[in-house]
Structure 1
Amino acid sequence: MPNGQRGRVFGLHRAADTAGAVVGPLIGLALYEALDHHLRPLFWAALIPAALSVALIAAVRDPRTTHTTRTAARTPQARWRDLPRPYWRVLAVLTVFGLVNFPDALLLLRAHQLGLSTAGVVLAYAVYNLAYAALSYPAGALSDRWPRPAVFAAGLVFFAIGYLGLGLIHAPWLIFLVLPLYGGFNACTDGVGKAWISALVPDHQQGTAQGLYQGATGAAVLVAGLWAGLAWNGTGQVPLIVSGTAALLIAAALPAVTAVRTRS
């Protein structure tokens, strides 16, 4: 990966991937209206792009396969125990944050509880993803020039705005202001987080480092979903406010706690 462009690369990937999460819900919304609000045939229709996606994998070829085979013997073996200490420090902090980052499905449940119809929830989700996709590349490019902990911390501020906003508002129309701001959270953390992890480890440990990062933070999000669901209590205000406040505290401490020198 080109030096000084890690944020751009991961940001472009997130922007392209999330663009599908804008188009998909809008197509689903159109079909939902066309099918007279019947969900079962909509689920069957969703199988079509899923099957096509799997089929398209067969057309993917890795141009580095031959080169990788020739150089495998000269590549140091990547072991998780050999990952550098700065990586573990960053991983620990981001995993702790994952414990308050519960699944977006609960945010959409809150939107519905605030008064949005099923169609309104789908539209709000599409607006959120539109902001996420639009901001991902600029946020990644910014992280190539500014310290990535600072950009990630800015994402946690957007997270807090989204969670505290959903926890405190009562008017349904405000959801269409809060969720796009919340989209700034993933834009400033998803691709930026991967670029940050990538810059902490040598090339031969990239797969191991990214796999552990995704596994640890994914497990933390699972735990967050469990405790938030148990504490939902009809409105979800308590877990939303708790998580939003915790994110602000982590954002304030993040640059100092994870202050390490990384590769660009």
Structure 2
Amino acid sequence: MYLTDRSAPAHAGTDQERRRGPGRKVAPVVLVLGTVSLITDISSEMVTAVLPLYLVTTLGFSPLGFGTLDGVYNGVSALVQLTGGHLADRIRNHKLLAGLGYGLSALCKPLLLLASSIGTLGAVLALDRTGKGLRTAPRDAMISLSTPTGKQGRAFGVHRAMDTTGAMLGPLAAFLILRTAVDGYDAVFGVSACVAVLGVLVLVLFVPGRERGAGRRGAGQAGEPSASGDARAAATATDSDSAQDDAAASDETQAAPGAKQPVRVREALALLRIPRLRALAGCAALLGLTTVSDAFVYLLLQRRAGIAEEWFPLLPLGTAVVFLLLAVPVGALADRIGRRTVFLAGHAVLLTAYALLLWAPDTPALPCLVLALHGVFYAATDGVLPAALAAVVPGHLRASGLAIVGTSQALARFCCSLAFGAAWTMWGDGPALAGSAIGLLCCAAVAGVVLRPADSTR
């Protein structure tokens, strides 16, 4: 099985591209959703940039306590993603589910002003992540369904670049607020809530309510290969057992053209019978088990390089700048040379960042190098993984397929946060990161085998 290692055939999506005209590279809905994500990420990253230091230094949480909250922050959204993806496919209204998710997250921002214990903070963060879980799969499905298969990497790259612009502006805004406001953390949480409401308004006013023609296309965009044909082609190149799996999956997941019946849970679960989707979900989970959360990376870097506390909110800015610059070109590169290659290379870059945190001499260049590598990792993985699903999952089940893979990855990262926090508490930050680095090396090697192209000469 392989990670959609080649872009779609040259004829894929040609009818759609002809209708759009040769000059239009990205669908308008991608740009609007990118704007919504930009605004929402300003709000979210204002909180995320200050939360680790706020919890550890102001509220006195231990690394284990922080790891538990960070795990909740990632794990709850994973569980809800499945529900959000299935409901979006079932009611055939991705915008509605995405809007509910964005609205719930906006509602939680002012509640942070009232939370001071691990229980109340955990509840508020769980609600916030519930909103993220509801919106992620429907949003990515809208992007995927508006884009030809061969340009999925570019489309997701554009969206992630706009999203990352917000991730870059959020820490900067938090930094300025902390330096000027008397009650800095309260001011950050309050401004974050106002910005989040603006993002919801843009979604409601400018994103189309329903995907036109989605029911007619069934398997996705015009010119997009159906799951059955695409899966059978891959299976034929490997073995007859996989071909039987794909044929059975396509029988249960491929809706008849024009079908208006709601998507059933049984149809969504049948996606797991597609071998390539299982490979994607399994490898996303395997690599997620050893991917240390951003918050821990920034805490480690702050301690390792002796960065003053007032500069801590700017650390995510370094990651965001590199991600912003590389998201589109790396996404386009993945369309050309293969998404598997770019995806695995991204994890190799992350492993290099871990090695620098562990063994590099303490020089002024260390923070820049680590943050740059961290940004490259996200550019090579964050949009590439959902782009790889375009030729695997039929269009009427796209949100469900995205949710399955996203959930497997997020649940694994939830476990990683808990384990890393416990290891840091018991043995220290160095041994905890060394264990993660060794685990990432092993898991990347396994993923390279599982996701290898069927034809070893490619």
Taking structure 2 as the reference length, what is the TM-score of the superposition? 0.53
**CA pair 37-181 structure 1, distance change in 2 beyond 3 A:** farther
Q: Show structure 1 runs of 5+ residues with no match.
A: none
What does the per-residue CA deviation read over 1:123-163, in whole Å, with 9 as the maximum and x for residues that have no partner? 22101111112111111101101121111111001110122
Spell out the pairing of 1:155-174 with structure 2 (5 A cutoff). Answer: 155-169=346-360, 171=362, 173=364, 174=366
Partner of 2:269: 80
How far off is 1:95 after superposition?
0.6
Q: 293, 298, 303: which one pairs with 1:113? A: 303
CA–CA distance in structure 1, aligned partners of residues 434 and 315 of structure 2: 20
Q: Show structure 2 runs of 5+ residues with no match.
A: 1-146, 217-257
The secondary structure found in structure 1 opposite 2:382 is: helix
What amino acid is the match of 2:179? E
Choose 1 or 2 for highest CA Rg. 2
Partner of 2:313: 122
| Aligned 8 A contact 1:162 1:182 in 2 | yes
Q: 431, 435, 438: which one pairs with 1:245? A: 438
How far off is 1:258 after superposition?
1.3
| Aligned 8 A contact 2:319 2:372 in 1 | yes
CA–CA distance in structure 1, aligned partners of residues 362 and 292 of structure 2: 23
What amino acid is the match of 2:332? A
Q: 269, 274, 285: which one pairs with 1:95? A: 285
**CA pair 61-133 structure 1, distance change in 2 beyond 3 A:** closer
CA–CA distance in structure 1, aligned partners of residues 363 and 294 of structure 2: 17
The secondary structure found in structure 1 opposite 2:352 is: helix
2:189 is equivalent to residue 43 of structure 1: yes
Partner of 1:259: 452
The secondary structure found in structure 2 opposite 1:171 is: coil
- Percent identity reads 28
2:324 is equivalent to residue 137 of structure 1: no
| Aligned 8 A contact 1:94 1:217 in 2 | yes
CA–CA distance in structure 2, aligned partners of residues 138 and 248 of structure 1: 26
| Aligned 8 A contact 2:271 2:401 in 1 | no
What amino acid is the match of 1:203? G
CA–CA distance in structure 2, aligned partners of residues 181 and 37 of structure 1: 34
What amino acid is the match of 2:175? L
| Aligned 8 A contact 1:155 1:184 in 2 | yes
Two-structure CA RMSD over aligned residues (Å): 2.4
What does the per-residue CA deviation read over 1:67-92, in whole Å, with 9 as the maximum and x for residues that have no partner? 45783427986422244112102211
2:173 is equivalent to residue 27 of structure 1: yes
Aligned residues: 261
How far off is 1:205 after superposition?
2.7
CA–CA distance in structure 2, aligned partners of residues 193 and 220 of structure 1: 15
CA–CA distance in structure 2, aligned partners of residues 46 and 172 of structure 1: 34
| Greater mean deviation of Cα atoms: 167-176 or 133-142 | 167-176
What amino acid is the match of 1:88? R
**CA pair 177-72 structure 1, distance change in 2 beyond 3 A:** same
How far off is 1:254 after superposition?
2.9
CA–CA distance in structure 2, aligned partners of residues 170 and 59 of structure 1: 51
Which structure would you say has the larger RCO, counting Cα contacts within 8 Å and 6 or more residues apart? 1
CA–CA distance in structure 1, aligned partners of residues 151 and 353 of structure 2: 29
CA–CA distance in structure 2, aligned partners of residues 196 and 81 of structure 1: 19
CA–CA distance in structure 2, aligned partners of residues 63 and 185 of structure 1: 34
CA–CA distance in structure 2, aligned partners of residues 9 and 259 of structure 1: 24
CA–CA distance in structure 2, aligned partners of residues 253 and 92 of structure 1: 11
What does the per-residue CA deviation read over 1:182-236, in whole Å, with 9 as the maximum and x for residues that have no partner? 2111110110011112332232331111011111111111000000000013742
The secondary structure found in structure 2 opposite 1:231 is: helix
What amino acid is the match of 1:236? D
Partner of 1:191: 383
